[in-house]
Structure 1
Amino acid sequence: MDKRVYELNGIPAFKDSLIFGFQHVVAMFVGNIAPVIIVCNALKLPMETQIKMIQLAMFVAGVATLFQLYPIGPIGTKLPIVMGTSFTFVPTAIAIGAKYNFASVMGACFVCGLVIAFFGLFLKSFRKYFSPVVIGTVVLSIGLSLLPVGINYFAGGQGAKDFGSPSNLLLGFIVLLVVLYFSMFIKGGASSAAILIGILVGYIVAIPMGKLDISQVASAGWVSVPIPFEFGLEFHADAIISMLIVFAISSMETIGNISAIALGGLNREITDKELSGGVIADAVGSSFAAIFGVLPNSAFGQNVSIITMTKVVNRFSIATGAGILILGGLFPKVGSIIAIMPSSVLGGAAIIMFAMIVIAGVKMITIETLDNRSSMIVAIALGLGFGVGMVPGVLDVFPQWAKMVFGSSGVANAGMLAFILNIILPKVSKSEDMELTGLEDVVNL
């Protein structure tokens, strides 16, 4: 098998690209629709509206992924990026929707996407501030934030009646062991598709365990055509300002994920053009999402971990996955087959995938010497920024807007702090750093 076909611009056999593409769809499916479900429930939207929005989330994610894979002018990176509905916007969307309505959420997202896309054109001017220690901290934070998600999936899904049951844990362990076996002991295409193989094995094992509800597949419709502006757009200044802050924060996560793909998949740093194109595509994709009543999209960390793990960076394979998402949005029965997958099946693979993002973040941070200055940036960003995001109750005495912005994402907090500290902390010489860290005495010994 010619491994070159699995490189960035290769064209593998369709059956192989279908396997790799489907693997990405399975990994991001739950994360893509979960924010939709959460917001719909919080705003008490009708069930038929929720079902329609789930399908639209799949359709939009597929189109937004194609924006990244095959750039249109300055829009897109030409890298193997999978887009999906972002959790970062959920708290702010709920707050805006509760004050006004869902159309106001979409209006704010539509405007903010265009604003961020404009600033993305000039991102090159700020590139020097996004050093490896800043981006690495964001990537590390993304990985750390996903670890509890993986464990929750592994145990059956947060809120599940049988959460942590022996059957869920057994199913998760089976998937984990299959992924481990095919990754470490099998060569060739099967090794690259280890995650999908593990999930398929878990899916099959789940059948005799009675964990699949096929009635959902039978009740799903056959065709659903997306209608633009069906949910409307309304514009309120305070809603737009609040959402704009979250968009800026989310851009940090996008930069981190895109950088992790370049480092973990291509073994190089991201270029200025790729960085700018990725942020612009992220923003344009979010405005496109608002037209169809979907929350903003961003590059998905789950899929970054697959690329880091398998090293399959082929754009055509990812595009095949995007096609599956679009079909899922047009034909509800396609999506319903994936939707009935038990959470513990995904969890068995997610534990490995998410931890690989942590490793990618550590590698990025240590591209340059981890001196005292860099160590302090990482320590404060993780300790204070990420920590507050993990314990949002710390902000209970602050205004609602502060809780919405800083209490919703430890990743965003860590990214902002790392970015600011990298600008204001003075750089020191090697000898000064040794004195600060006490290493000089060790060397003299």
Structure 2
Amino acid sequence: MTDQSIGTAEQLRDPNYTPALGKAIPLGIQHVLAMFVSNVTPAIIIAGAAGFGFGSNSPDFPELLYLIQMSMLFAGVATLLQTVTVGPVGAALPIVQGTSFAFIPIMIPLVAGRGVDALAALFGGVLIGGLFHAVLGFFIGRIRFALPPLVTGLVVTMIGLALVKVGIQYAAGGVPAIGTPEYGSLLNWSAALVVIFVTLGLKFFSKGMLSVSAVLIGLIVGYFYALMVGMLSFEAIGSSWARSAAFALPQPFKYGFEISFAAVLGFCLMAFISAIETVGDVSGITKGGAGREATDKEISGATYADGLGSAIAGIFGGFPNTSFSQNVGLIAMTGVMSRHVVTCGAIFLILCGLVPKVGGLIRTIPIEVLGGGVIVMFGMVVAAGISMLSDVDWNRRNMVIFAISLSIGLGLQLEPGAVQHLPDTLRILMTSGLLPAAFIAIILNLVLPEDLADEATEEVSGGMSGAAKGSLPHK
């Protein structure tokens, strides 16, 4: 529902309209609340995969805070590139950028158990992959044919499936607790379930800001629950707050610079998927907020900003950025198309990123509480992928492409030892599962002729034939 008190209907559909500051700032912060948890979660997941110590007395504690800080800071910087624009960079639309979930299955094998030493190659990959992503802006429209819903839906579904395991591990007590008696205890699960139930309750039984910020509020309620049941102490919060600086600037190449072929190739390949996701979000914003199709200039500008924002983040220790789909829905809900509203949100993110104490407070969230939010978020990623797959014409040809791609990709995720004899670079890329699945789907979709759709044998399809577009196959 639109708020006509902010402006006329025509003004609300104009990206260049500037509401009064008293309206623009709260609307901008609303955008931040909608994406805040999703934006900082990848930093915590990658730190956990690398083996960082999570306690406030851990020697890795400052590094973890820095990663959280950079996630906020460069999400704000990348968002500014989209809203304010710099030459051809940016769409001049209310696009909110944030740390991408899509790259997590690629990053986890790169850093697994290697600690801070793995970050030089990781951020080298982010930098080069970001530059490659920006180059895609020159011809993004011409490669969309290779990524139909069958491919993009499969990839998004695979991203979610790769991450749901992380959510369950966090809810049960976190990776370091695996094998200990407290892992999977009722206490641990109770904290995660509080977050899930509060999130669902707010999402479906409230409106406005409460509904938009459901995951964030769920985490806050879970945080206080953890305090009440003794999972978190005020002493730990005070220690984390005291060890966090009040202000800190980002440091270029803080972890050094290293070129890893596996990292560079992985980030470059995933850039295609991220670019297509951004094209979809730009189209969603212009349709939902202004009732029109996105222009070629807006799509290319958004892709430039996507890539350049990721490259800049990589220089300073930030992760790849992409447009956030939840904020597309927020624009459609509020009806406010003003890019300057999102600029206010970007400035708020940058300020948070310059204050490590914000990261210090985030880090005190118990891993079980975070697990509840992660289960919801990553489950929604899977649901988004399935929604994209609903646009696929499920004939025999497409079923075979999907089946082979999913079987090999998911199978390699579940059994990485199957490729243990491959060279290290290729092994890392294969065990992500995501890249082999995407590669197989793209190649098969380009190579297999469309006329195979009606000629596949019953032996291949298991007796199931395609039905109408977006429907389940039937006999």
TM class by smaller structure: 0.7 to 0.9
Distance 1:296 1:337, change over 3 A: closer
Inter-CA distance 169–93: structure 2 relative to 1 (3 Å threshold): closer
**What is the alpha-carbon distance in structure 2 between the residues aligned to residue 92 and residue 26 of structure 1?**
23
Distance 1:53 1:319 in 2: 23
Aligned to 1:32: 43
Please point out which of 171, 194, 207 is paired with 1:187.
Answer: 207
What are the superposed Cα offsets for residues 318-348 of structure 1, whole Å, 9 maximum, x if unpaired?
A: 6555444422331111221222112222332
Corresponding position of 1:84: 99
**Which residue does 1:381 correspond to in 2?**
405
User: Structure 2 length normalisation: TM-score?
Assistant: 0.76
Report the CA distance shift for 1:178/1:16 in structure 2 as closer, same or farther (over 3 A): farther
The 1:29–1:106 alpha-carbon spacing in structure 2 relative to 1, beyond 3 Å, is: closer
Corresponding residue of 1:147 = 164
User: Cα distance 1:333–1:364, how it changes in 2: closer, same or farther (>3 A)?
Assistant: same
Q: Does the CA contact (< 8 Å) of 1:7 and 1:312 recur in 2?
A: no
Q: Which residue of 2 aligns with 1:424?
A: 447
Aligned length: 434
Counterpart selection for 1:196 from 207, 211, 216: 216
1:254 shift after superposition: 1.4
Cα distance in 1 between the residues matched to 2:306 and 2:427: 24
Kept after mapping to 2: 8 A contact 1:19/1:196: no
Indicate the residue corresponding to 1:281 in structure 2.
305
Distance 1:353 1:45, change over 3 A: closer
- The aligned amino acid for 1:89 is M
State which of 384, 403, 410 in structure 1 corresponds to 2:433.
Answer: 410
**Is the 1:253–1:412 Cα contact (8 Å) retained in structure 2?**
no
8 A contact 1:305–1:357 mirrored in 2: no
For residues 182-212 of structure 1, give each alpha carbon's deviation from its aligned partner in whole angstroms, at most 9, with x where no partner exists.
2222334423332222222222222222333
Structure 2 match to 1:127: 144
Distance 1:440 1:37 in 2: 44
Q: Note the C-alpha offset of 1:89.
A: 3.2
Equivalent residue for 1:249? Answer: 269
In 2, distance between residues paired with 1:441 and 1:388? 28
Indicate the residue corresponding to 1:348 in structure 2: 372
* Corresponding position: 1:226 with 2:226: no
CA distance in 2 between counterparts of 1:287 and 1:198 reads: 33
Q: Note if contact 1:203-1:345 (Cα within 8 Å) is conserved in structure 2.
A: yes
| Counterpart in the other structure of 2:29 | 18
Question: How far apart, in 2, do the equivalents of 1:70 and 1:347 lie?
Answer: 35
Q: Secondary structure at the match of 1:164?
A: coil
CA distance 1:260–1:183, shift in 2 (3 Å): farther
How far the C-alpha of 1:297 sits from its partner, in A, is 0.8
Letter in 1 for 2:442: F
Residues 8, 80 of structure 1: 8 Å contact kept: no
Could you give the per-residue CA deviations for residues 21-72 of structure 1, whole angstroms, max 9, x where no partner exists? 1342123323224425655859x99765555454334323332343345544
| Worse-superposed segment, 270-279 or 321-330 | 270-279
**Cα distance per residue 1:116-156 (max 9 Å; x no partner):** 42244222221111111111111111222222222223223
Displacement of 1:430 in angstroms is: 6.7
User: What secondary structure, in the 3-state scheme, does the structure 2 residue paired with 1:159 have?
Assistant: helix
Give the percent of matched residue pairs that are identical in Structure 1 and Structure 2: 32
- The 1:343/1:97 distance shift into structure 2, 3 A limit, reads closer
Match of 2:421 in 1: 397
SS in 1 for 2:183: coil
Contact 2:160 2:382 in 1 (8 A): yes
Residues 255/27 of structure 1: CA separation in 2 closer, same or farther (3 Å cut): same
SS of the residue 1:83 aligns to: strand
Could you give the per-residue CA deviations for residues 396-420 of structure 1, whole angstroms, max 9, x where no partner exists? 011112112222x222322222111
TM-score normalised according to structure 1 size: 0.80
Residues in 2 aligned to 1:308 and 1:141: alpha-carbon distance in whole angstroms: 23
**1:62 is matched by which residue type in structure 2?**
G
**What CA distance in whole angstroms lies between the structure 1 residues aligned with 2:294 and 2:457?**
30
Whole-Å separation in 2 of the counterparts to 1:39 and 1:354: 20
Distance 2:295 2:442 in 1: 18
2:466, 2:113 → 1: CA distance? Answer: 55
| 8 A Cα contact 2:396 2:465, kept in partner | no
Q: Does the Cα contact within 8 Å between 2:395 and 2:465 map onto a contact in 1?
A: no
| 1:87-142 per-position Cα deviation (integer Å, ceiling 9, x unaligned) | 323544679999x9865665554344324422442222211111111111111112
The corresponding residue for 1:67 is: 81
What residue number does 2:322 align with?
A: 299
